[in-house]
Amino acid sequence: MAGGASDTVVRTGRTSRFVIYTILTVFCIYYLLPLYVMVVNSLKPLDEIRGGGMLSLPQAWTLAPWSSAWSTAQIGVEATGLRPYFLNSILMVVPAVVISTLLGALNGYVLTKWRFRGDTIIFGLMLFGCFIPFQMVLIPMARMLGLMGLAGTVPGLVFVHLVYGIGFSTLYFRNYYAQFPTELVRAAMIDGAGFFKIFQRIMLPSSGPIAVVCIIWQFTNIWNDFLFGASFADFDSQPMTVALNNLVSSSTGVKEYNVHFAGAIMAALPTLLVYVVAGRFFVRGLMAGSVKG
């Protein structure tokens, strides 16, 4: 995205500028409101929420909902809090992101710099795999994980996310490497570098920006996944999203809204942090993924 590089030349008068800023501000409030609701209500006692004070700041500030959500809240049958599931998510996300990014880089390199007959078809097949409704693979995948001995385990989830992450990783790296001058690869060939040497010495050192984009994309997608987690995880291998949903929708006992909100923020925090820290790349990545096919 051309960060303000070429704004429109359209001119606007003072009144219309006032209206524009007002509208933009109203929508800022709209987008921030749920976040505000989550934050303030995670910091107040339950009775303040019940008393119709959802939009007010806490009168008695408290961190109790946070500690409850983290370590003592009832998830499913056990009162473990979200901590073990947070760990599951980390253990699931890191290997899946690293491996799918590496594979995507290699695939993108082959598909742009070592082209062969039919490469576009192969890329098309991989790309279509990104868009299928995953309901279509749930039944056979459950069986396959069983056959592989990975059913109900974190490595099983890693594998699933890896398989269905390859398409997007390949898309990112292919689009990026397509812009990468082929003459550089030719020069390196004449200089005597082989397939892997060119990748390692010429391509990889220039892949920083797209690697960041790809990692952010995969991280967000895999961290936020619910369907695979709900389908393939056992109680002790559930990721954060599934545990959060269990916490919120458990029908037994009192609804501890403040604990739910604290848990929701915990589930959102890693991706939100990544987004704030590397937001520019994130935007650019989304653009690359959707505007260019």
9 lines the binding site for another protein (CB under 8 A)? yes
For another protein, the closer CB: 60 or 131: 131
198 to 237: interface string for another protein, x by CB under 8 A: ---xx--xx-------------x--xxxxx--xx------
Stretch that binds another protein, among 58-66, 75-83, 146-154, 177-185 (CB under 8 A): 177-185
- In whole angstroms, the minimum distance from the beta carbon of 178 to another protein comes to 8
Q: Report the 10 Å Cβ neighbour count for 285.
A: 24
3 lines the binding site for another protein (CB under 8 A)? yes
**Ramachandran sector of residue 238 (left: φ over 0; alpha: ψ -120 to 50; beta: rest):** beta
- In whole angstroms, the minimum distance from the beta carbon of 118 to another protein comes to 10
Q: With contact defined as beta carbons under 8 Å apart, do 88 and 239 qualify?
A: yes
d(C-alpha 49, C-alpha 285), whole Å: 39
Tell which residue, 247, 229, 219, has the closest CA to residue 81. Answer: 247
Q: Report the 10 Å Cβ neighbour count for 240.
A: 28
Interface with another protein (CB under 8 A), residue from 110, 158, 210, 212: 110
145 lines the binding site for another protein (CB under 8 A)? no
149 lines the binding site for another protein (CB under 8 A)? no
Stretch that binds another protein, among 50-58, 66-74, 75-83, 150-158 (CB under 8 A): 50-58
- In whole angstroms, the minimum distance from the beta carbon of 126 to another protein comes to 5
- In whole angstroms, the minimum distance from the beta carbon of 79 to another protein comes to 19
Burial class (CB in 10 A: 0-12, 13-18, 19+), 192: exposed
102 lines the binding site for another protein (CB under 8 A)? no
245 lines the binding site for another protein (CB under 8 A)? yes
- In whole angstroms, the minimum distance from the beta carbon of 196 to another protein comes to 8
DSSP letters for 228-272: HHHHHB-GGG--HHHHHHHHHH--SS---HHHHHHHHHHHHHHHH
90 lines the binding site for another protein (CB under 8 A)? no
Q: Report the 10 Å Cβ neighbour count for 229.
A: 25
Stretch that binds another protein, among 9-17, 57-65, 70-78, 79-87 (CB under 8 A): 9-17
For another protein, the closer CB: 57 or 139: 139
List 152's β-bridge partners, or say none: 233
Tell which residue, 291, 71, 110, 98, has the closest CA to residue 199. Answer: 110
Interface with another protein (CB under 8 A), residue from 82, 97, 157, 185: 185
